[in-house]
């Protein structure tokens, strides 16, 4: 029994010895010299690379590579490029670098990596991969010879100053009668005639203190900041003298449009935005503001265009100093079928097309009757939420369908502000109700500003008209337009008034 046990143990030891794998052991890589300097023009620089193995394993097929410097890698050669490193021994290879292709006065640092591969096999016929990297090596390439005195570069001729070119010409300037030119701001920009860069400088009247009482031509002077490169130039501009506007004693405000201006809804009557806007105008100018609300429930673009042809209605438009306009909703209102749960796209298309044909005619007719009044026209809002809420899960899709028609209507309203349009009117402004209401639609909150979302358990007919909060928001939007845009044209308004 003992002999059998010893025999099995001996067999096991032999198996373990046969199946064991030796480990390649590269324990160190040194480079001599670690720092080397060569002179420009030298063909090569050589280094001795010593690899050591202080382990019992072999390192067969050990190869070498440059680490950390791609330029040196392409110029390097190892001889021999592969060695077999026995255990507890060292071996050497020579690194040669082609320095003739390296520029003078340059420093190159790198490391050398020695790497033995993984070799499959049992016992001494196998090895595991191993690698080591040297410390950093420095190669310096010096310039040859003593540096000579640099040649004195030939000084280029000083360029003659040039005249700046008017890029954005100095425009005619309106000056109130009896004012001095120094009280008016000139504007204009100037460019370098060669490369088109902007020329900075100061633009001034030649006789800045001159008082003007009639239209005429006056000189200006542009003084560049860099007078070595640019000349001072002068020019003339027509100064248009305007009479000093008198303060109005009263303002007449006329509202045109539909039920948005009357405040009518299926839930009763709200205080429409036109009343708050009238109060705003009184506070703005401190004078009496009379108002006539010519809006009518149910009117669409065709109805308003017909009314503008009526002489009595036209006379009231002629008397206005400022006009607000809300029209277009009724052009597509009847397309909302089944309490607005469905959209008749044929009806919507018909109403939209009619608006597209008639809106420019409406503005032209108003201008024919009243050339001076300021006009504020509001964009049409989309009553559907873009976010589904309980009981109205289909509304985002209905919003998308409706938006196709509303956007076309609003494009016509905005088109009058386009200076390239034949119908352009610089005394016409847009109250963008659509964008402000869209913020609520995107949050599923159109029920906060309209009667379009009754409570589900008390659900009644949906009404797209604004509630009082919506009317107040429309008033605020009109006031914002007046403060930001119309006040800039205030003199025209006051003169007209």
pLDDT tens, residue by residue, 185-233? 778 899 998 888 999 998 888 877 778 888 888 888 899 999 889 999 9
Query: Of 242, 260, 295, at which residue does a domain stop?
Result: 242
Tell whether 296 and 443 lie within a shared domain.
yes
Cα–Cα distance between 438 and 464 in angstroms, integer?
14
Spatial contact of 371 and 471, defined as CB atoms under 8 Å apart? no
Question: What token pair was written down for 279?
Answer: 């109060």
**CB neighbour burial string for 242-281, b if at least 16 within 10 angstroms, e if fewer:** eeeeeebeebbbbbbbbbbbbbbbeeeebebbbbbbbebb
Tell me, what CATH number does 197's domain have?
Answer: 2.60.40
pLDDT of residue 163 exceeding 60, the answer is: yes
In a domain, 394, yes or no: yes
Residues 269-289 pLDDT 10s: 999 999 999 999 999 888 899
Spatial contact of 432 and 438, defined as CB atoms under 8 Å apart? no
pLDDT of residue 290 exceeding 60, the answer is: yes
Question: What token pair was written down for 207?
Answer: 């006789």
Cα–Cα distance between 66 and 93 in angstroms, integer?
13
Range of the domain at 82: 24-120+128-142
Mean pLDDT throughout 343-363? Answer: 96
Spatial contact of 325 and 376, defined as CB atoms under 8 Å apart? yes
Tell whether 362 and 310 lie within a shared domain.
yes
In a domain, 151, yes or no: no
> How many domains does the chain divide into?
3
Tell whether 364 and 236 lie within a shared domain.
no
Tell whether 238 and 264 lie within a shared domain.
no
Query: Of 180, 210, 242, at which residue does a domain stop?
Result: 242
Nearest by Cα to 327 from 353, 293, 296: 296
In a domain, 10, yes or no: no
Residues 445-493 pLDDT 10s: 999 999 999 865 555 689 999 999 999 999 999 999 999 877 534 434 4
Tell whether 289 and 352 lie within a shared domain.
yes
Tell whether 266 and 236 lie within a shared domain.
no
In a domain, 150, yes or no: no
Tell whether 277 and 189 lie within a shared domain.
no
Looking at residue 7, its pLDDT comes to 56
Tell whether 288 and 305 lie within a shared domain.
yes
Spatial contact of 493 and 321, defined as CB atoms under 8 Å apart? yes
Spatial contact of 112 and 31, defined as CB atoms under 8 Å apart? yes
Residues 95-144 pLDDT 10s: 898 888 888 888 989 999 989 888 887 656 678 888 889 899 998 888 87
pTM of structure: 0.53
Tell whether 321 and 358 lie within a shared domain.
yes
166 - beta bridge partners?
A: 190
In a domain, 378, yes or no: yes
Looking at residue 489, its pLDDT comes to 42
Cα–Cα distance between 427 and 445 in angstroms, integer?
34
Cα–Cα distance between 95 and 419 in angstroms, integer?
76
Query: Of 222, 242, 262, at which residue does a domain stop?
Result: 242
Tell whether 274 and 228 lie within a shared domain.
no
pLDDT of residue 17 exceeding 50, the answer is: no
Cα–Cα distance between 384 and 392 in angstroms, integer?
9
Mean pLDDT throughout 341-365? Answer: 96
Mean pLDDT throughout 314-332? Answer: 96
Tell whether 192 and 292 lie within a shared domain.
no
Q: If residue 71 lies in a helix (H) or strand (E), which one and from where to where?
A: helix 70-73
CA 277 vs CA 193, 274, 283, 323, 328: distances in Å: 52, 5, 10, 11, 21
Cα–Cα distance between 38 and 142 in angstroms, integer?
6
pLDDT of residue 148 exceeding 70, the answer is: no
Residues 67-91 pLDDT 10s: 988 888 888 999 998 988 887 888 8
In a domain, 315, yes or no: yes
Phi, psi values for residue 194, rounded to 5°: -85, -55
Cα–Cα distance between 328 and 406 in angstroms, integer?
9
């Amino acid at each position: 029994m003992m002999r059998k046990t010893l025999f099995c143990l001996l067999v096991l030891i032999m198996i373990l010895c046969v199946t064991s794998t030796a480990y390649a052991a590269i324990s160190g890589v040194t480079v001599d010299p670690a720092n080397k300097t060569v002179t420009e023009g030298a063909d090569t620089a050589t280094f001795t690379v010593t690899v050591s193995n202080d382990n019992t394993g072999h390192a067969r097929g050990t190869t070498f590579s440059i680490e950390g410097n791609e330029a040196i890698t392409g110029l390097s050669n190892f001889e021999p490029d592969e060695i077999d490193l026995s255990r507890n021994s060292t071996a050497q290879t020579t690194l040669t670098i082609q320095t003739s292709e390296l520029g003078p006065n340059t420093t190159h640092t790198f490391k050398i990596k020695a790497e033995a591969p993984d070799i499959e096999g049992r016992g001494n016929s196998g090895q595991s991969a191993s690698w080591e990297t040297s410390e950093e090596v420095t190669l310096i390439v010096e310039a040859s010879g003593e540096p000579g005195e640099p040649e004195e570069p030939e000084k280029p001729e000083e360029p003659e100053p040039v005249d700046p070119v008017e890029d954005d010409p100095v425009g005619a300037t309106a000056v109130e009668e009896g004012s001095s030119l120094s009280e008016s701001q000139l504007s204009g920009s100037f460019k370098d005639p060669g490369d088109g860069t902007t020329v900075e400088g100061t633009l001034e009247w030649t006789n800045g203190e001159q008082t003007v009482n009639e239209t005429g031509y006056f000189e200006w002077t542009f003084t560049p900041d860099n007078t070595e490169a640019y000349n001072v130039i002068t020019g003339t501009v027509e100064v248009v003298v305007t009479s000093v506007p008198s303060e109005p004693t009263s303002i007449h405000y006329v509202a045109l449009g539909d039920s948005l201006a009357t405040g009518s809804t299926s839930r009763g009557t709200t205080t429409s935005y036109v009343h708050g806007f009238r109060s705003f105008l009184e506070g703005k100018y401190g004078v009496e503001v009379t108002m006539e609300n010519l809006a009518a429930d149910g009117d669409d673009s065709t109805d308003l265009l017909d009314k503008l042809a009526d002489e009595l209605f036209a006379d009231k438009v002629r008397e206005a100093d400022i006009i607000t306009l809300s029209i277009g909703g009724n052009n597509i209102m009847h397309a909302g079928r089944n309490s607005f749960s469905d959209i008749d796209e044929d009806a919507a298309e018909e109403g939209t097309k009619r608006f597209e044909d008639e809106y420019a005619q409406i503005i032209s007719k108003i201008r024919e009757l009243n050339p001076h009044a300021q006009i504020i026209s509001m964009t049409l809002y989309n009553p559907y939420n873009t976010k589904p809420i309980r009981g109205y899960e289909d509304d985002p899709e209905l919003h998308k369908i409706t938006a196709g028609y509303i956007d076309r209507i609003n494009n016509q309203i905005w088109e009058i502000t386009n200076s390239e349009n034949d119908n352009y009117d610089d005394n016409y402004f847009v109250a963008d109700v659509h964008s402000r209401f869209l913020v609520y639609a995107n949050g599923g909150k159109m029920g906060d500003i309209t009667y379009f979302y009754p409570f589900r358990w008390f659900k009644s007919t949906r009404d797209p008209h604004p509630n009082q909060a919506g009317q107040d928001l429309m008033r605020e939007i009109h006031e914002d337009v007046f403060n930001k845009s119309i006040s800039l044209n205030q003199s025209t308004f006051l003169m007209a008034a």
